[in-house]
Structure 1
Amino acid sequence: MPSPHHDLIALLQARGFIHQCTDLQGLSAQLDSGSLTVYLGFDATADSLHVGHLQGLMLMRWLQKAGHRPILLIGGATTRIGDPSFRDESRPMLSEAQIVENIAGITQTFGRYLTLGDGPGDGLVVDNADWLDGLGYLQFLSEVGRHFSINRLLTFDAVRQRLDREHSLSFQEFGYTLLQAHDFVELSRRHGCTLQLGGADQWANIINGVELSRRQGGTQLYGLTMPLLATSDGRKMGKSAQGAVWLNADKLAPFDFWQFWRNCDDRDVGRFLALFTELPLDEVNRLAALPGAELNQAKIVLANEATTLAHGQETARAAEAAARGLFEHGAMREGLTIVPLSCADLQRGLSLTDLLVAAGLQPSRGAARRLAAGGGVRLDGVSVVNVDTALPRDGCGWLLSLGKKRHFEIRLTD
């Protein structure tokens, strides 16, 4: 009879979480032997996570539900360098205050997906600045640097592709992979962590941690990577036509988050249901196979499930109700992103074109006019053909629709 942990590996494979593993058979044996401690790292490059991070959080959630302990590592130190993997240029340098602010923002998300605390299976949030800030350069070279060959590091795809395209790679960035390797070993020493998760682009960094532990005579470590995700229309997961799909409500309204899932490509529905919900796979397959327009119901299920995890069940229900109100009744505005409009701007004759560009809803005045000419701009359900005319001065707020899928509330402010 298969062990529960063998079944877990099979489940994770079936749901699409597993890309590569340093030793899948060995990891399966470790999972069979008891609870493992697993880590996933995040550099603090923004003050919120986005949906591109959800794959890792959901994988951690499945592992915790199976009895394993998650560690969420914040790169308070490594954020100052930036991971150069598969990038053509250095990340912008952030100040210490920005990094602290970003750490506060992204840690808000963890407790929605994982149980954190002091219990034996509870997740931990740690910062690699705790050990890297006090690590001397000569000590680092002696303990870590001597175990790595420059010749081998230059063969890794992330480095080789950067150099092949003749883009500069600083010594600072080149050392990032060694710092991440050291993080893995340090987490093994401090917390008994033996498994690191990451996206497919982290494969070389993870291998270096496994190898460093072996060379230092430490514990056998394992690495597991997830497939890099892109939507079927070629966009990187986490991005939409309007920008990043943030997980924090103060960065993106929950209604817009719900709409992101509701408006996904038909080809992505089954894959997203498997990765970003906890629905049984039989139900996932049933929903993904719905024909024609019925597939929209599967998208609503996806939006509700994903939004419930990110923002809570009541918020998900409110987002669905707001969407149904828009499409069925044309009047409900609860939960929509607010576009503020001052009374002074309204009285001086601000046009809808001006508002759309100023609010970042259209990239240019010409784009706003072209959208309107095609019937894509509506106020309270009525098409606006000439968006250069002034907004009605006797108005007190409008429901703004751009195309079929983007809806906002223009709200007057003092």
Structure 2
Amino acid sequence: MDGVTASTGGLHILDDLAWRGLIAQSTDLDALRRDLDTGTVTLYSGIDPTAPSAHIGHLLQWLTLARFQQAGHRPIALVGGATGLIGDPKPTSERTLNDRDVVAGWVDKLGAQLRPFLDFSDAPNGALLVNNLDWTEGLSALDFLRDVGKHFRVGRMLAKEAVSRRMESEEGISYAEFSYQLLQSYDFLELYRRYGCTLQTGGSDQWGNLTAGTDLVHRVEGRSLHAIGTPLITKADGTKFGKTESGTVWLDPGLTSPYAFYQFWIQAEDAMVGTYLRAFTWLSHDEITELERLTEEKPQAREAQRALARAVTTLVHGEDEVARAEAASRALFGRGELAALDATTLAAAVAEIPSYTAARSENPTIVDLLVGSGLSASRGAARRTVAEGGAYVNNAKVETEDWTPADADLLHGRWLVLRRGKRNAAGVELAGT
């Protein structure tokens, strides 16, 4: 096995990961390369059920597992039914402990969510889905302290950034959260014993936990294992990636609509779109390099952003949702038919632009609507917009300032989409009878 597939552009899997900017930290890459070249390597990455959905940070880890699987290696996707009951220490405050039934439900949801990203067939490198509660729940406190706890040094655990920051705070840190590192390390030991797992991948913010796991296996089994930390993807200004004004970008369409998901990616900054293409898509090296060139030479065309949004939204939500999102994007700004959008897609699109609710009983005019939506700063400005031909309702030009909506104008019986000029849009929901 040489770890080379067509998707890696003819590169070894480690070289492909490096090209994609996905290796921020590692234990011994030369030793790992030798193991990868010798035969099938079993690797794992874990996610804790701290919410009912994964977000795009988790997606990066699942795609990293998938890249190794495509290169012939065997991935294990771990959902932490045990570690999720405790929670990795946050730098700022104690985590709220969720009920066992809630955590168990989230374990099932996350397991179902990650399945489409890996091949769980009976192939020699078919993926496994595991829950660390299976080997942790029956472990007594005495056995855990004797068999695991004795191999950890408190000084090293205190050096972890999240722990040290909490120790310096007034709140401090509980013993439960402090012990999280032992639980995660024990996962690596169990997966090594059960499945011969020799590589763990995770975010670089988990590097202390990753190396604690390799250290535990070395102390207990005398075997040197591997760890790779992927970088924390950021925005161009260095702030956290994957957050919007409305919150986290989730994979669950009920928490982040496919339209909002698509819009998140299409709004990527020019300076970062190449990074996102490399990390989150299966586009070839040549395709990505060409898109990076187009971004540099013709940034106004935003070809890379469109390719990014299509690729990641297709990966998570499918081609049909991409088509709906693109149709909604065109229609909102006068390049498509708003009436052709289904109610769910229209509502999701309106949620991403300024919107407000108006009472039908007040029979609002176009001037009222422009001012109420914020598209015009005053009634005088609204009148000028109408007089200059810049006012639109559902992409139809409104030519008189006393225009009022009829029932036939309401999209799905409730919405109007206003536009001032080409680029400024807002939604209005007409409520009441």
Q: SS of the counterpart of 2:218?
A: helix
The 8 Å contact of residues 213 and 220 in structure 1, kept in 2 or not, is answered as: yes
1:317 equivalent in alignment to 2:317: no
Q: SS of the counterpart of 2:210?
A: helix
Is the radius of gyration larger for structure 1 or structure 2?
2
- Offset, 1:238: 2.0
Equivalent position of 1:307 in the other structure: 313
Return the alpha-carbon distance in structure 2 between the equivalents of residues 203 and 397 of structure 1: 51
> Match for 1:298: what amino acid?
A
Indicate how the Cα distance of structure 1 residues 170 and 401 shifts in structure 2: closer, same or farther if over 3 A, else same.
farther
1:189 equivalent in alignment to 2:206: no
Return the alpha-carbon distance in structure 1 between the equivalents of residues 175 and 74 of structure 2: 35
Instruction: Select between 396-405 and 91-100 the one with higher mean Cα deviation.
Output: 396-405
Return the alpha-carbon distance in structure 2 between the equivalents of residues 212 and 406 of structure 1: 57
- Offset, 1:95: 0.9
- Offset, 1:47: 0.8
> Match for 1:52: what amino acid?
G
Map 1:126-137 onto structure 2 (within 5 A): 126-137=130-141
Map 1:231-380 onto structure 2 (within 5 A): 231-290=235-294, 291-329=297-335, 331-332=337-338, 333-334=341-342, 335-338=345-348, 373=377, 380=394
Indicate how the Cα distance of structure 1 residues 380 and 128 shifts in structure 2: closer, same or farther if over 3 A, else same.
same
1:10 equivalent in alignment to 2:15: yes
Return the alpha-carbon distance in structure 1 between the equivalents of residues 84 and 60 of structure 2: 21
Equivalent position of 2:149 in the other structure: 145
Map 1:77-226 onto structure 2 (within 5 A): 77-84=82-89, 87-226=91-230
- Offset, 1:320: 1.8
| TM-score, normalising length: structure 2 | 0.80
Return the alpha-carbon distance in structure 2 between the equivalents of residues 77 and 287 of structure 1: 43
Q: SS of the counterpart of 2:37?
A: helix
- Offset, 1:110: 1.2
Return the alpha-carbon distance in structure 2 between the equivalents of residues 144 and 221 of structure 1: 17
The 8 Å contact of residues 263 and 405 in structure 1, kept in 2 or not, is answered as: no
Equivalent position of 2:387 in the other structure: none
- Offset, 1:79: 0.9
Q: SS of the counterpart of 2:233?
A: coil
Return the alpha-carbon distance in structure 1 between the equivalents of residues 395 and 4 of structure 2: 54
> Match for 1:189: what amino acid?
R
Gaps of 5+ in 2: 6-10, 352-357, 365-371, 383-390, 398-403
> Match for 1:23: what amino acid?
D
Q: SS of the counterpart of 1:125?
A: strand
Return the alpha-carbon distance in structure 2 between the equivalents of residues 80 and 53 of structure 1: 18
- Offset, 1:37: 0.9
The 8 Å contact of residues 360 and 431 in structure 2, kept in 1 or not, is answered as: no
Q: Deviations over 1:171-220 (max 9, x none)?
A: 11000000100011001111111111110111111111111111112533
Q: Deviations over 1:274-316 (max 9, x none)?
A: 1111112222122122234444121111111111111122322
> Match for 1:61: what amino acid?
A
Q: Percent identity?
A: 37
Counting matched residue pairs gives: 387
